[in-house]
A and B are shown apart, each in its own frame.
Chain A
């Protein structure tokens, strides 16, 4: 069964520090994609970063990087130099069947303090 697991319901980090949000996945598909989205209190889903299962290098987008360990089936999000505006809910998601379906994890609430 395809599943995304986020084991950290909440994380706390001080401004300017780095933080890692964990994500593990389970699928028997050989081709899949992994996404991270940020959801502020307004509710919109903001795309952060994407990693394809065949991508050999870890994805990076500005302060966001994805630590992709295929053998371990993990796709952790690393946020460097946290900012107050990073406080939000973060969802890991997996696309299957050629982006026909997106399965979400339960999310991690990140709180950045001054």
Chain B
């Protein structure tokens, strides 16, 4: 089945630094990827939709300049948390839309997530 690799799985950084999280589709081309954020004991909230070769579409309330999304190729989308602060500490998960999937069950696949801790 379609596999999405997310890296790093966890990262600790100092306040004020930037952190990049990568989401790669390993055996398929993903023209659309999604980035979610999950606070402890809460649900996943969609942050933005990343489309290959075009600007990401951000959900209401998500700061575009804070969370930079780049989808430069059909297999890679990156999320950069700029000037990170402790309140940005969270679990970030990407998912990819699998084109040509033979059923609704196969259309979306998730990465394993990245746990960010900002000190």
Total interface residues on A, CB under 8 Å, equals 22
Q: How many A-B residue pairs have CB under 8 A?
A: 54
In the complex, the answer to whether B32 meets A45 with C-beta atoms within 8 Å is: no
Write the chain A residue with the least CB distance to B44: A104
In the complex, the answer to whether A95 meets B104 with C-beta atoms within 8 Å is: yes
In the complex, the answer to whether A44 meets B110 with C-beta atoms within 8 Å is: yes
Write the chain B residue with the least CB distance to A99: B107
In the complex, the answer to whether A100 meets B105 with C-beta atoms within 8 Å is: no
B56 close to A (CB within 8 Å):
no
Which one of B32, B38, B115 lies within 8 Å of A100 (CB-CB)? B32
In the complex, the answer to whether B108 meets A102 with C-beta atoms within 8 Å is: yes
Which one of A44, A101, A107 lies within 8 Å of B46 (CB-CB)? A101
In the complex, the answer to whether A100 meets B49 with C-beta atoms within 8 Å is: yes
Which one of B44, B91, B93, B104 lies within 8 Å of A50 (CB-CB)? B104
B42 close to A (CB within 8 Å):
yes
A107, B41: Cα distance in complex, Å:
9
In the complex, the answer to whether A47 meets B43 with C-beta atoms within 8 Å is: no
Query: Which residues on B sit within 8 Å (CB–CB) of A43?
Result: 38, 91, 93, 112-113, 115
Write the chain B residue with the least CB distance to A47: B105
A91 close to B (CB within 8 Å):
yes
Minimum CB–CB distance from A11 to chain B (whole Å) comes to: 15
Q: Interface 1/0s, chain B 75-107, versus A by CB < 8 A?
A: 000000000000000010101010000011101
Minimum CB–CB distance from A30 to chain B (whole Å) comes to: 15
* Chain B CB within 10 Å, residue with most, of A33, A37, A100, A102: A102
Write the chain B residue with the least CB distance to A92: B43
Which one of B45, B93, B103, B105 lies within 8 Å of A45 (CB-CB)? B93
In the complex, the answer to whether A95 meets B108 with C-beta atoms within 8 Å is: yes
Q: Which residues of B contact A (CB under 8 A)?
A: 32, 34, 38, 42-46, 49, 91, 93, 95, 97, 103-105, 107-110, 112-113, 115
Q: Which residues of A contact B (CB under 8 A)?
A: 33, 35, 37, 42-45, 47, 49-50, 52, 91, 95, 99-107
